[in-house]
Structure 1
Amino acid sequence: MTTPEHESPAPQPPAPEFQDRVRRSSGAIAGGVLLLAIILWLGLDAMFSGSGRTPWLALAGMILTVPLVIAFTFRPAVYADADRLRVRNPFRVIVLPWSQVAGLRSGYSNEVIAASGAKYQLWAVPVSLRARKRAARQEARAAAAGEPGATGRGGLFGRGSVGGLGGVAGGAPRAGGGAGAGGPIRAEGDQFMNDLRELQESRAHAESAQGEVTVRWAYEIAGPALAGAVVLAILLAVG
Structure 2
Amino acid sequence: MTSPAHEPQPSGPAYPDRVYRSPAGIVGGVLLLGIGGWLGIDAVVVGHGRTPWLALALLLFAVPLVTAFTIRPAVYANEERLRVRNPFRVIVLPWSQVAVVRSAYTNEVVSNAGEKFQLWAIPVSLRGRKKAARRVARGSSGGGALSGLGSGWRPTNPDAGPGDDLASGDRSMAELRDLHEGYRPGKEGEGEPAEVSVRWAWEVLGPIVAGAVVLGILLLVG
Q: What residue identity is the alignment partner of 2:202? A: Y
Q: How does 1:28-67 map to 2 (within 5 A)?
A: 28-67=25-64
Of 178, 181, 186, which aligns to 2:166?
186
Q: Mark the structure with the bigger radius of gyration.
A: 1
CA contact (8 A) 1:149 1:183 kept: no
Match of 1:202 in 2: 182
Q: CA 1:204/1:116 → structure 2, altered by over 3 Å: closer, same or farther? A: farther
Q: Structure 1 residues 69, 149: CA separation in 2 closer, same or farther (over 3 Å shift)?
A: farther
Q: What secondary structure sits across from 1:113 in the alignment? A: strand
AA matched with 1:23: Y
For residue 148 of structure 2, what is the aligned residue in structure 1? 150
Distance 1:144 1:44 in 2: 56
Paired with 1:234 and 1:188, the residues of 2 have a C-alpha distance of 44
- 1:178 is displaced (CA, Å) by 6.4
CA distance in 2, matches of 1:205, 1:143: 41
Deviations 1:46-104 (A, max 9, x none): 11111111110000000000001111111000001110000000000000000111001
User: 2:206 — aligned with what?
Assistant: 223
Over the matched positions of the two proteins, sequence identity in percent amounts to: 58
Q: Flag the 1:59–1:143 CA change in 2: closer, same or farther, 3 A.
A: same
Structure 1 residues 55-134: aligned runs within 5 Å: 55-134=52-131
Q: Which stretch has the larger CA shift, 139-148 or 94-103? A: 139-148
Query: How many angstroms does 1:18 deviate by?
Result: 5.0
Distance 2:184 2:73 in 1: 24
Letter in 1 for 2:34: A
> Aligned-pair distance for 1:183?
4.3
- Cα–Cα, structure 1 residues 206 and 138, in superposed 2: closer, same or farther, change >3 Å? farther
Could you say which residue in structure 1 is the equivalent of 2:8?
A: none
Shift in alpha-carbon separation, 1:139–1:73, aligned structure 2, 3 A: same
Q: Letter of the aligned partner of 2:27 in structure 1?
A: A
SS in 2 for 1:208: coil
For the residues of structure 2 that align with 1:178 and 1:47, how far apart are their CA atoms? 55
**Partners of 1:67 and 1:225 within 8 A in 2:** yes
Shift of 1:149: 5.8
TM, length-normalised to structure 2:
0.83
Distance 2:81 2:201 in 1: 20
What is the distance in 2 between the residues matched to 1:93 and 1:202?
A: 24
Q: CA RMSD in A?
A: 2.2
Separation in 2 of the partners of 1:177 and 1:52?
A: 65
CA distance in 1, matches of 2:71, 2:167: 22
Counterpart among 7, 17, 22 of residue 25 in structure 1: 22
- 1:131-177 CA-partner distances (Å, limit 9, x unpaired): 100110111112212343627x7xxxxxxxxxxxxxxxxxxxxxx75
C-alpha displacement at 1:125, in angstroms?
A: 0.2
Three-state SS of the structure 1 residue aligned to 2:44 is helix
Deviates further, 191-200 or 118-127: 191-200
Partners of 1:25 and 1:178 in 2: how far apart?
23
* Structure 1 residues not aligned, in runs of 5+: 1-16, 154-175
